[in-house]
């Protein structure tokens, strides 16, 4: 099991491999391997998605995946 925190300025649903799998700014458990992360519809964020390979994380040292508002240039 791997651990990630998907950061975004507000709380949003997090989609992992196209499935709803939690919310931003919280600790999420994910199987090891490569996964596609995005924040779903209302695409007011960038990048549009992130492909991330997860291994060697822990609950005290999770992988941080950051998305930004499109209007924060």
pLDDT in tens, 7-22: 999 999 999 999 999 9
Provide the mean pLDDT of the chain.
95
Average pLDDT over residues 34-50: 95
Model pLDDT for residues 61-72, shown as the tens digit of each residue: 999 999 999 986
Architecture of the domain delimited by 2-69: Sandwich (2.60)
In this predicted structure, what is the pLDDT of residue 72? 66
The reply to whether the predicted model has a pTM over 0.85 is yes
CA distance 9 to 17: 22
| Rounded to 5°, angle at Cα 29 from 45 and 35 | 55
Domain-by-domain residue ranges, the chain?
2-69
CA distance 11 to 38: 13
User: Length of the chain, please?
Assistant: 73
Show the beta-strand stretches assigned E in 1-73: 2-7, 13-16, 19-23, 27-30, 33-38, 45-46, 50-54, 63-66, 68-69
């Amino acid at each position: 099991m791997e651990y990630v925190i998907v950061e975004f300025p507000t709380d949003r649903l997090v989609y992992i491999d196209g499935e709803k799998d939690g919310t931003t700014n919280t600790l999420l458990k994910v199987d090891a391997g490569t996964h596609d992360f995005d924040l779903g519809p209302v695409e007011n964020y960038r990048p549009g998605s992130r492909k991330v390979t997860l291994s060697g994380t822990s609950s005290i040292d999770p992988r941080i995946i950051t998305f930004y508002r499109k209007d924060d240039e």
